Amino acid sequence: MKPLSKEIQAIIHGDSHDPFRVLGGHLATRAGKKRVVIRVFHPWGKAAAIVEESGAVHPMERLDEAGFFALEFPDRGQLFPYHVRVTQLSGESFDYDDPYRFLPVLTDYDQHLFREGNHFQLYEKLGAHPLDLGGVAGVHFAVWAPGARRVSLVGDFNAWDGRIHPMRSLGSSGLWELFVPGMTEGVRYKYEVKTQEGALLVKSDPFAFSSEPRPKTASVVASLDGFEWNDGEWMEGRARGGALERPLSFYEVHLGSWQRVPEEGNRFLTYREAAERLVPYAAEMGFTHLELLPLAEHPLDESWGYQGTGYFAPTSRHGSPRDFMAFVDAAHRAGLGVVMDWVPAHFPSDGHGLTGFDGTALYEHSDPRKGFHPDWNTLIFNYGRTEVAEFLIANALYWLDRFHLDGLRVDAVASMLYLDYSRKEGEWVPNAHGGRENLEAIAFLRKLNALTHERHPGTMMIAEESTAWPMVSRPTYVGGLGFTLKWNMGWMHDTLRYFSKDPVHRRYHHQDLTFSLLYAFTENFVLPLSHDEVVHGKGSLIGKMPGDIWQKFANLRLLLAYLYAHPGKKLLFMGQEFGQFAEWNALKSLDWHLLDYPTHRGVRQLVQDLNILYRAERPLWEVDTEHHGFEWISLQDIDQSVIAFMRKAADPADCLLAVFNFTPVVRRGYRLGVPRGGHWRELLNTDAQAYGGSNVGLAGGARTEEVPWHLHGQSLTLTLPPLGALFLKPA
């Protein structure tokens, strides 16, 4: 055999960054005459042949025992379609259409947009996409790996051998691509990345639309096309905007443990089963939105989805991407919005994921003082790298665009904003001005929020942000971060701390109730009673309540009423709506059997009634974010642990009085000033017998007296139920 060129040797040894220069069909000129040369490499191939569309078979010359073949057509002046027939050492033969006879799919414009950071439909180009190329059906693969020496497609189709399908490098963009004819949906694959040092890494596709079930980690070819949406009316209404002026009551759900199927090995619900069970349940309960813990593919159940590896793949635990579309579509048709938690703050160090993707710190920082998260042992995205910020923004838009999500709740925003988050002196790197603010993350968040609001009007971007960072939920054009809403973590912590105290001691913690109103209108707040507060030894909400069983239930009902009366949108984690005693366990179903007991049914009935009342009464939501929608009536009755306030609609004549007694003592003859005379009807009493209470109340309402009180000319004399709340409205 003749000595082989370095380029051919690079193919054989899996070291070529430009396989198309060697493999496939090429025009050559010899003695002034054009001819076609076709080269094929298939390891352990004993023989190969070119099969034309006419059926003509042309045996190829074997140039190397490793399986390199070539054939020259001296009488051909132009390239032509063909198949390759390979006979393996075992004697078995098979035909395939040669990937190396196809031109690039990614255009110069794609590469230009990608390099400048403005290719926000990047998921339509990178990843695996079934398509028809020149009348040939197959799958196009593309990935970003600028530091790689070679990138190959591997899978069952090539025995996971990285020498068989090396990809085409697109130069300075750092992109690699390959069209594989004949491939279809359902194929498992990964990328084999050869680093500059010669190490081989096997990586899942960062842009894959589907993955195989854990603990396996291969990506799966999937199409998002073909689903017929039926939520046009919902989408049109959403586009009109006005989320802040609407009632928002989020039912926070971990889909993997809301309900399981114990009779079938405790398996997960599928997305379509959840559409039949979860959607009608949440709608009947009166919630306006489902908020789902992250559903991007993740390897570890115990991470609840917050350490994802498949950013574009709805987790296969519950089905396919189209199944998830069906779930969202069903929710919209039932009048429910769907928000999903989204995690751009960090990613896990699993070897098949983003970490060191091409042998370099590609998505993360190389300096651990900037790139390693000490709280979660994860890696921090490099927001200052154009392509990384673009990857995350394209991902956010993807969930809104292709799955019709109504918003994203952005996790761990505080950890993104501060360079010294959870770090000691000397463990972090100041910004260019010597400060602790992460300027690159701030710029990323502003661009993210501006683009999502521009491209998907009416959707919500919600920040889980626990510090006093200003203007988190203010528009970017006035210097804010641009979020729609912000979780009020301070309210949550203060409120739960107050409720955990024995009522006899609550007088000493009264400020925990009143402090939140000093800042309640500085942001557009969501009041979260979230999953974070009922896990890791914190107990359930009812488990935090002091006293005997009766007092625990009464306190829980009081807490829920306080949530719905306080300014701010509402969020309640699953299981707390019926008073689950056990701490949340992500590995099993909620304790639905508790609904066999009237006390638990009473709590659920209260939550349903609160949602119905909340949605019906404009004072509870119409001017939620403005101070003129709230008025203290009584905030300083510390000794009796009673507070009362008015909630007002845009028309202040439309108002509602909320009164709370945080002790188990019945308060008779309790006087409160009110702005209007006449009969005030009782809208809700958490001590009602239907909710499991003692039925102390007003027998339907009360009439004012012309006794000035609390700066008003009229007043009501009420009987306050023990550990109870009353909502009243002027007739």
Residue 175, C-beta contacts closer than 8 angstroms, at least 6 positions apart: 106, 111, 114, 126, 142, 143, 144, 169
User: Same domain for 494 and 608?
Assistant: yes
Which of the 8 DSSP states describes residue 171? G
Cα separation, 577 vs 487, whole angstroms: 19
367 falls within a domain: no
Distances (CA, A) of 712 to 38, 627, 636, 709: 94, 19, 16, 5
**CATH number of domain containing 113:** 2.60.40.10
Residue 67, C-beta contacts closer than 8 angstroms, at least 6 positions apart: 12, 41, 42, 43, 44, 45
DSSP 390-410: HHHHHHHHHHHHHS--SEEEE
Q: Is the pLDDT of residue 242 over 90?
A: no
356 falls within a domain: no
User: Which residue is catalytic, options 464, 465, 512, 533?
Assistant: 464
452 falls within a domain: yes
Catalytic (active site) residue 411: yes
Mean pLDDT to the nearest integer, 302-330: 97
Cα separation, 148 vs 169, whole angstroms: 10
279, 327 contact by CB (below 8 A): yes
* Count of CB atoms situated within 10 Å of the CB of 468: 9
Rounded (to 5) percent helix, strand, coil in the chain:
30, 30, 45
Of the residues 65, 82, 100, which one is the last residue of a structural domain? 100
Go through the chain and tell me how many residues it has.
731
User: Which residue is catalytic, options 411, 523, 533, 617?
Assistant: 411
Query: What's the CA angle centered on 530, arms 527 and 535, to 5 degrees?
Result: 150
DSSP 544-611: H--SSHHHHHHHHHHHHHHHHHSSSEEEEETTGGGT--SPP-TTS---GGGGGSHHHHHHHHHHHHHH
Tell me what pLDDT residue 5 has.
Answer: 87
Tell me what pLDDT residue 2 has.
Answer: 67
Mean pLDDT to the nearest integer, 431-448: 96
Q: What is the dihedral of CA 39, 40, 44, 46, to 10 degrees?
A: -70
Q: Is the pLDDT of residue 533 over 70?
A: yes
Q: Is the dihedral of CA 219, 119, 139, 49 positive or negative?
A: negative
Residue 480, C-beta contacts closer than 8 angstroms, at least 6 positions apart: 471, 472, 473, 474
436 falls within a domain: no
User: Same domain for 551 and 688?
Assistant: no
Tell me what pLDDT residue 700 has.
Answer: 87
User: Same domain for 611 and 531?
Assistant: yes
- Coil, strand or helix: which one is 228? coil
Retrieve residue 297's tokens: 């593919």
User: Same domain for 584 and 659?
Assistant: no
Report the chain's mean pLDDT, rounded to a whole number. 95
pLDDT tens digits along 53-85: 999 999 999 999 889 999 999 988 899 999 999
Q: Annotate 602-640 with b (16+ C-beta within 10 A) or e (fewer).
A: bbbbbbebbbebbbebbbbbbbbbeeebbbebbeebbeb
**CATH number of domain containing 396:** 3.20.20.80
Cα separation, 83 vs 52, whole angstroms: 6
Q: Is the pLDDT of residue 663 over 70?
A: yes
Query: Nearest Cα to 401, choosing from 343, 286, 321, 331?
Result: 321
Retrieve residue 275's tokens: 């559409």
Q: Which amino acid is at 625?
A: T
E strand intervals along 382-471:
407-410, 460-463
Q: How many domains does the chain have?
A: 4
Q: What is the pTM of this model?
A: 0.95
Tell me what pLDDT residue 241 has.
Answer: 84
Cα separation, 433 vs 285, whole angstroms: 51
Cα separation, 491 vs 489, whole angstroms: 5
376 falls within a domain: no
Which of the 8 DSSP states describes residue 100? G
User: Same domain for 598 and 492?
Assistant: yes
Domain of residue 176, residue span:
108-220
User: Same domain for 502 and 584?
Assistant: yes
Q: Is the pLDDT of residue 698 over 90?
A: no
368 falls within a domain: no
Retrieve residue 258's tokens: 């809301």
**CATH number of domain containing 709:** 2.60.40.1180
pLDDT tens digits along 9-39: 999 999 999 999 999 999 988 877 889 999 9
Of the residues 602, 619, 636, which one is the last residue of a structural domain? 619
Cα separation, 432 vs 430, whole angstroms: 7
Q: Is the pLDDT of residue 1 over 70?
A: no
380, 423 contact by CB (below 8 A): no
Catalytic (active site) residue 494: no
Mean pLDDT to the nearest integer, 555-565: 98
Q: Is the pLDDT of residue 255 over 80?
A: yes
User: Same domain for 605 and 636?
Assistant: no
User: Same domain for 502 and 648?
Assistant: no
725 falls within a domain: yes
16 falls within a domain: yes
Q: Is the pLDDT of residue 406 over 70?
A: yes
pLDDT tens digits along 569-626: 999 999 999 999 999 999 999 999 999 999 999 999 999 999 999 999 999 999 999 9
Q: Is the dihedral of CA 296, 297, 300, 301 positive or negative?
A: positive
User: Same domain for 26 and 137?
Assistant: no
Q: What is the dihedral of CA 515, 521, 525, 528, to 10 degrees?
A: 20
The gap between the terminal CA atoms of the chain, to the nearest Å, is: 101
Query: Nearest Cα to 326, choosing from 219, 231, 209?
Result: 231
User: Same domain for 522 and 476?
Assistant: yes
pLDDT tens digits along 175-197: 999 999 999 999 999 999 999 99
pLDDT bracket for residue 129 (50, 70, 90): very high
Q: Which amino acid is at 667?
A: R
Beta bridge partners of 39: 24, 70
167, 141 contact by CB (below 8 A): yes
Cα separation, 334 vs 324, whole angstroms: 15
User: Same domain for 608 and 477?
Assistant: yes
User: Same domain for 156 and 251?
Assistant: no
Cα separation, 413 vs 429, whole angstroms: 19
* Count of CB atoms situated within 10 Å of the CB of 707: 13
165, 152 contact by CB (below 8 A): yes
pLDDT tens digits along 338-363: 999 999 999 999 999 999 999 999 99
